[in-house]
Structure 1
């Protein structure tokens, strides 16, 4: 279900904030987490949801590595969720 995936997206990004990630990656991930929280907790229209998912995708494109393997796994999982949700639109 989409709502569950939106929650999972937010959770994966929130988990990166608990890890010792590289400073630049941390800033990008914080922004992506904020947008993901907004869509996970709100009830956006389909257009707004698509726009915000595209925003998360764009933000995550700036994160090459976090310098933490666990955080990198969470970023990859978040990317997979975003890709799947955008592919459905």
Structure 2
């Protein structure tokens, strides 16, 4: 599988969606999952192999799937967009 600018851009968009939840008031448990997901997303947006990016995206997706809700509508929307991006990257 190839790893081109599109995959790097998706990884960056994934990170930015998660980063955008930092200042929102959200559920404490969801916040921990989001923090872990954001850390992984940060690692895979750089110069990494396609395999590392796919595996990291899979990890992010699993972390996000553990979130049942954030108690904040805007954060929930960001999490949903991040889930879709992570799923695309995991299949890239």
Whether these two folds match at TM > 0.5 is yes
Alignment equivalent of 1:4, drawn from 6, 9, 19: 9
RMSD value, Cα: 0.9
Give the number of aligned pairs. Answer: 87
TM-score by length of 1: 0.92
**CA deviation after TM superposition for structure 1 residue 47, in Å:** 1.5
Moved over 2 A (4+): none
Unpaired segments ≥5 residues, structure 1: none
Unpaired segments ≥5 residues, structure 2: 1-5
**2:38 counterpart of 1:61:** no
* CA deviation vs aligned residue, 1:4-63 (integer Å, no higher than 9, x gap): 1111100000111110010000000000000001111x2111111111111101111110
- Partners of 1:58 and 1:6 in 2: CA distance: 16
TM-score by length of 2: 0.89
